[in-house]
Amino acid sequence: MKKFFSKLGSIIVTKEIFEDKKSLRTLYRYFLIGLLVRLIFLPFFFQRDLLSTYQRAAETISTGNLGYDNLQIITNLIHTFYLFIIKSIFPAINEIFSVLLEKDTWVSWLGFNSAYNVFTTLTLFKLLYLIFDIVCMFLILRLSFDGEPENKVRVFKYWIFNPIIIFVLYIFARHDIIGVFVTLIALLLAKKDRKYWAIIVLGLAVALRFFPILILPVLVLYLVRTKKDYIILSLAGVSGIAAVEILTRVFFDKSVILPLLRTTHFEYLLAPGLDLVAGSHGSIFIFIAVYIIIILSFLHIKEKSFDILLNYCAMIYLAYLGICFFHPQYMLWLVPFLIIIFVRRKSLLYYHWVQFALLLVLLIYWGDLVTKFVLAPVDHKYFVYLTGIIPIIERFYDSAKFVNIFRSVFTGISLWMIYLVHKDTKILQAEELKNRGN
Amino acid sequence: MRKISTISKIIIFSVLMVLIILSVCGCKGVFYIPGASYGYYIWEEGSRIFIEWSVDRKDTKFDGEISTDGKINGYELKDWEEGNDTIRVEEDGIVFSATLNGEDYSDGFNFDVQDYTYLEFDLKINDGYDLSRINVGGFLENPENNVFRIEKDYFNQLGMKRWYQKRPFSEFFYKLFSNKYFTFLYLFMLGIIIIEILRMTTLARKRRKIIWLTASYITLILIEICVYFILRFLVR
């Protein structure tokens, strides 16, 4: 029995931490405090998109059409399955089901917030994300610092107390953590040199959420060992994505991948542009140019360690956040990579906190929906009629200019963070070369 | 020394923030920000009744009538724009019409009224009724009818309302109490985690851990019972 639990413990927290009692106690303490913080936020706040996500799932259950959500079909299937289970177990979900099926967005939002059991419903809705969050926090332990239990515990600490994770999952209540989970599995497979599986799983992550596609080129470059690998891995990447596309077409008669190109995510990548001549069609997409620099920089590294790959993933997402328009939940994609670098370079942690503080100001971009309405479950009428932050700012200064000043600071900090990550990469490179030399 | 300097900076900053908020606040009775808040704000100071309105810098018309069985003695206008805004005051009533826009943040008036038992209001925004935008004596103290009356002691009675009877607390406590199985389970889970944190930290150094743990769980159960009675009291 003891052996079984020892094995189970090693599986959950890694062997190094399990065998180091001090690290194990510290990790457990962090886990409890982190869980407490998460539970405090769980029942009381959400952003409108959470309701839309579950409304789509409710519609899928109601109509039996599994291909209901055209853009995020797999995410919708996960939510549908989960909603079906909780609906069968908890009467609170049954009671609110008619609200979920309401077509009018304003009426459904009011009905949801004014329900006497809104806290139960929100807790159950967000519980799915808590489960994925917990799985991710133990997966992330395996990404780096093998044989260094103390550093692994630090990584855990940076994840569990990360303000972006707490905000996006438990206040904003967005589902990006599901995609992050699949991406982490792909990275772990890459670390274990399961190159084909890594690429295929990343393809699945792309189908879940657009963003993992950004790290696909660096992952391919990391995994290739021979020239032949370039072709095979590229084909694996394409075939992984194609497989998802074919399956959804066969089963649901819907395309998953092609609509991604028409989504706002892709548009945001191309939006920051530089017109070469006024009035001409000639322009440069700034993010694409920067992205190519990052990819080429990675390509020219001779000894590519897994930590260097993670650093480049961080640089890519920092560049995206720094240059392109983004929604608050997109910041979650940066976190798994940054927290590992925090252990080596703590100054980045402070900048990350500043990023979070600035994000709270940037919320003004989206108005009441993501500011005061997030608190609506507490008392929807109060927060609907409460004077919003935008009219208050507008009273004194142009709100768009006000936010864009902070947005510019955010960009400056993000670009500076890329430089710091680049410096860290240089040190890693030197260490890697030294290790190979020995 | 450095710590004192930091504290003094925080205090100065806080005082400045309060001053800024007070300077933009439209009135003493009901808090609103002219040019940002939207609606009517009505309150009483002594024997004077104040009515002011504000909108978030959009072209909006505010008009209405006030009537009483008492006697209106005198009135004062606030930020009134002659030509745009009109008011007719009689002994038992007031009729007004005013507009706000991008430059005109708020208007209002106050009047002295004697020997009355009621005041009757018929207030419109853009020629329509929006009762949730009429705040009588406090934020979201809204009337129930388009044409509504308040009795003489309305404001005194409102002043006697406790904080937990006002929004958003009243609604929050109501939801917690009406969904009590969830609330107690939720609090119990939070309590278990807190006790577990204590067990890993403070209690780890104690000798008789089992006694401390038992005491902690008994305390948690007692807290749950107290919460039940407190919530029952708050939402009664």
Query: How high is the pLDDT of residue B230?
Result: 96
Cross-chain residue pair B197–A35, CB shorter than 8 Å: no
Query: How high is the pLDDT of residue A366?
Result: 87
Stated pTM of the model: 0.90
Q: How far apart are CA A225 and CA A218, in angstroms?
A: 13
Q: Which fold does the domain B28-161 belong to in CATH?
A: Immunoglobulin-like (2.60.40)
User: What sign has the CA pseudo-torsion A47, A53, A54, A55?
Assistant: positive
Q: How far is A146 from chain B (nearest CA, A)?
A: 26
Of residues A381 and A232, more confidence is placed in: A381
How many CB atoms lie under 10 A from the CB of residue A213? 20
- When CB atoms are compared, the residue of A29, A43, A379 closest to B186 is A43
Of residues A95 and A260, more confidence is placed in: A95
Q: Are strands A283-285 and A273-275 parallel, antiparallel or unpaired?
A: antiparallel
Q: What percent of chain A has pLDDT over 90?
A: 70
CB neighbour class for A350 (10 Å; exposed up to 12, middle 13-18, buried from 19) = exposed
| Average pLDDT rounded to a whole number, residues A167-191 | 96
- When CB atoms are compared, the residue of B24, B182, B197 closest to A117 is B182
Q: How far apart are CA B179 and CA B185, in angstroms?
A: 10
Q: How far apart are CA A164 and CA A112, in angstroms?
A: 26
How many CB atoms lie under 10 A from the CB of residue A83? 24
Q: Does residue A377 carry a pLDDT above 50?
A: yes
Cross-chain residue pair A28–B200, CB shorter than 8 Å: yes
Q: How far apart are CA B221 and CA A82, in angstroms?
A: 32
A123 touches chain B (CB under 8 A): yes
Q: Does residue A226 carry a pLDDT above 60?
A: yes
| Average pLDDT rounded to a whole number, residues A391-405 | 91
For A299-315, write each residue's pLDDT tens digit. 999 889 999 999 999 99
Q: How far apart are CA A145 and CA A339, in angstroms?
A: 12
| Average pLDDT rounded to a whole number, residues A383-407 | 92
- When CB atoms are compared, the residue of B38, B179, B186 closest to A117 is B179
- When CB atoms are compared, the residue of A35, A120, A386 closest to B193 is A35
Q: How far apart are CA B74 and CA B59, in angstroms?
A: 29
Please, which residues 131-150 of chain B have a Cβ atom closer than 8 Å to chain A?
Answer: 132-133, 139-140
Query: How high is the pLDDT of residue B26?
Result: 44
A10 to A15, A20, A209, B35: CA distances (angstroms): 4, 11, 31, 61
Q: How far apart are CA A13 and CA A28, in angstroms?
A: 10
Cross-chain residue pair A36–B182, CB shorter than 8 Å: no
Cross-chain residue pair A116–B132, CB shorter than 8 Å: no
Q: How far apart are CA A130 and CA B46, in angstroms?
A: 55
| Average pLDDT rounded to a whole number, residues A336-344 | 96
Query: How high is the pLDDT of residue A55?
Result: 95
Q: Which residues of A touch B56 (CB under 8 A)?
A: 387, 391, 394
Lowest mean pLDDT among A108-112, A187-191, A273-277: A273-277
Query: What is the pLDDT tens value at each position of chain B, 236 positions in all?
Result: 555 566 677 777 777 766 665 554 444 578 899 999 999 999 999 889 999 999 998 899 999 999 999 999 889 999 888 878 899 999 999 999 999 988 889 999 999 999 999 999 999 999 999 999 999 999 999 999 999 999 999 999 998 999 999 999 999 999 999 999 999 999 999 999 999 999 999 888 888 889 999 999 999 999 999 999 999 999 98
Q: How far apart are CA A399 and CA A352, in angstroms?
A: 24
Query: How high is the pLDDT of residue A242?
Result: 76
Cross-chain residue pair B196–A32, CB shorter than 8 Å: yes
> Where do the structural domains in chain B lie, given as residue ranges?
28-161, 170-234
How many CB atoms lie under 10 A from the CB of residue A55? 21
Closest to A35 in 3D by CA, of B165, B91, B200: B200
> Where do the structural domains in chain A lie, given as residue ranges?
2-429
For the question of an ipTM over 0.95, the answer is: no
B197 touches chain A (CB under 8 A): yes
Name the strands in the sheet holding B134-136, side by side, starting at the edge strand that comes first in the sequence: B71-78, B106-114, B48-54, B39-45, B134-136
Query: How high is the pLDDT of residue A322?
Result: 96
Cα Rg, chain B, nearest whole Å: 26
Query: How high is the pLDDT of residue B3?
Result: 55
